[in-house]
Amino acid sequence: MTATIKAIIETLTEGIEPIPNTVDKLEPGEPEAAVTGIVTTFAATRYVVERAIELGANLIVSHEGIYYSHRGGAEAWPNDPVCRAKAERIREAGLSIFRYHDYAHRRAPDLITEGLVEALGWAEYVEEHRPEAALLTIPPMGVREIAEHLRTKLGLSVVRAAGDLTQTCRRVGVLVGFRGGGSVAIPLFESGRLDLIVAGEGPEWETPEYVRDAVLQGGRKTLLTIGHAESEAPGMKRLAAMLQAKYPDVPVHFVADRPVFELL
Amino acid sequence: MTATIKAIIETLTEGIEPIPNTVDKLEPGEPEAAVTGIVTTFAATRYVVERAIELGANLIVSHEGIYYSHRGGAEAWPNDPVCRAKAERIREAGLSIFRYHDYAHRRAPDLITEGLVEALGWAEYVEEHRPEAALLTIPPMGVREIAEHLRTKLGLSVVRAAGDLTQTCRRVGVLVGFRGGGSVAIPLFESGRLDLIVAGEGPEWETPEYVRDAVLQGGRKTLLTIGHAESEAPGMKRLAAMLQAKYPDVPVHFVADRPVFELL
């Protein structure tokens, strides 16, 4: 049984109140086209585009945009040769790309946060789901032990740590993507009575400097950042399994790119 | 000869058109107080506050704010214990703190960019100063050689690299602080005909993914991020020397905090 792209999008957004001014959209794409295969991914990078073509998938469901900008499409840099070559390759391959960002985060619980918590094997420790974070009480673990757990479970080469590296943690906030920024993460330490925040990324002189100051003043707070893609890819991998269960006749693949940074 | 805080601020802002809605302000502080000593720094962290007190300096000139937010003062998180304890320590020590951000960047050339370029020993290679970047033509250097140069000159343990790690670079853009974000950095590759951008920081899925896609499409582009504080501290160090020359009787110190992140 074939499914249309429109049907897939309806599945992705069903049960969620329409989100005004959302960045989620099908572009490019033909809603009525039959789906030959689906690739879910953190971001439709050129590598992911090529993998989708190799896999015979004509729909990419991408958490972040194609053109390196939260709100911008190809029109953000219309004369840029990188954007133009990528747009041309997507067009000639007949790929449809659905950005699945706001609706993924708006699910209850947030699909992306839930994916990360599950990938860490911590689902049973969640005590509260807030829109911006999952709040957990874990069995007591040292910061370095938690960092090793994150590296092992997510296949990371490194975790960036700020604040107290020696404390034993119980209360943990898990924040995906750019939610490591101060406006989200800083008040959460108090309101969630947190020892530790695990986040994707955020400006370096906000939350990291906050936890460092906290320690110098006798407090115990820690921030571990694992990377934006690294924090959100597990949710998109989880999505692939959900879509596969719902559409057993459609080949569904999760594709991860390599880490974007190398340390020199 | 003593100087007032007001006189120092006039020196810092002189010759620059008033900037509307600037974040630069004296808070806390008494403009008419005599300056006993000045500390310049990237950010007035708790460590820097303690060093200023030890040094007998009653004025900190800080590029970033005290309370982990670009626009926020202590009122951003009025009940936060970290902010409250820090505010109380600053108050009881009688410290004045002047935020010197917008006016520093508005100098021609940008004081912070200039400080970084000089710290790298690259001043002679600057061909163009733009408001957001210095554009350089350097003697041909490989990416890994440049990364080592950055580490050595700035005392870094690591540089984060994306894109082409094998090319030989000539055209380099130097961007401080958060200017590594896509809206600033991406168009600069074309308009500045750049092989490489050296930046402080920026969202991970903007410029890093752009340069990675460029490479997969046969182009040669590289991004090296050195850290927000690491990119802006040299400009504040340069400022200390400038203030010392202008006020020979006032003890002026540059204070750097440790790197905020440790890699685990």
CA A183 to chain centre: 19
Enumerate residues 50 to 89 of chain A having a beta carbon within 8 A of any beta carbon in chain B.
50, 64, 68-69, 77, 79-82, 85-86, 89
Q: Are residue A117 and residue A219 in the same domain, yes or no?
A: yes
Q: Return averaged pLDDT per consecutive 10 residues of chain B, 264 residues in all.
A: 93 97 96 98 98 98 96 80 96 98 97 98 98 98 98 98 98 98 97 98 98 97 98 98 98 98 98
Q: Is A14 exposed, middle or buried (0-12, 13-18, 19+ CB in 10 A)?
A: exposed
On whether residue A71 sits in a domain, the answer given is yes
Q: Are residues B101 and B46 in the same domain?
A: yes
Helix, strand, coil abundance in chain A, percent, nearest 5: 40, 20, 40
B263 within domain boundaries: no
Q: Return the closest-CA partner of residue B112 out of B45, B204, B40.
A: B40
Chain A residues with CB under 8 Å of B262 CB are 160-162, 165
Contact A160 B212 (CB under 8 A): no
Q: Tell me, what CATH number does B171's domain have?
A: 3.40.1390.30
Query: Is position B123 within any domain?
Result: yes
Q: Is residue B240 part of a domain?
A: no
Nearest residue, CB atoms, B229 vs list A69, A204, A221: A204
A169: closest CA of chain B, how far (Å)? 16
**Do B39 and B70 reside in the same domain of the chain?**
yes
User: Is residue B122 assigned to a domain?
Assistant: yes
Domain for residue A145, yes or no? Answer: yes
The answer to whether B19 touches B32, Cβ cutoff 8 Å, is no
Within this chain, do residues B101 and B192 fall inside the same structural domain, yes or no? Answer: no
Contacts of A69 in chain B (CB under 8 A): 182-183, 206
pTM here?
0.97
- Annotated ligand binding at B50? The verdict is no
Dist. CA B99–CA B23, nearest whole Å: 7
| B218 domain residue, yes or no | yes
Say if A241 falls within a structural domain. Answer: no
User: Which one of A213, A224, A232, A257 makes the best mutation probe of the B interface by having the most chain B beta carbons within 10 Å?
Assistant: A213
Is the domain of A130 the same as that of A196? yes
Question: Do B95 and B128 fall within a single domain?
Answer: no
Per the structure, the count of domains in chain A is 2
What SS3 class is residue A255?
coil
CB contact under 8 A, B210 and A68: yes
| pLDDT tens-digit readout, B94-115 | 999 999 999 999 999 999 999 9
Query: Are residue A37 and residue A57 in the same domain, yes or no?
Result: yes
What would the pLDDT profile of A38-71 be if each residue is shown by its tens digit? 999 999 999 999 999 999 999 999 999 999 999 8
CB contact under 8 Å between B46 and A158, yes or no, is no
Domain of B46? 5-106
User: Shortest CA distance to B5 belongs to which of B40, B36, B34?
Assistant: B34
From B258, which residue of chain A is nearest by alpha-carbon distance?
Answer: A212
User: In this complex, do A207 and B85 lie within 8 Å of one another by their Cβ atoms?
Assistant: no
Question: Residues A73, A122: one domain?
Answer: no
Q: Are residues B51 and B158 in the same domain?
A: no
Indicate whether B98 and B22 sit together in one domain: yes
CB atoms within 10 A of CB B43: 25
Same domain membership, residue B96 and residue B13: yes
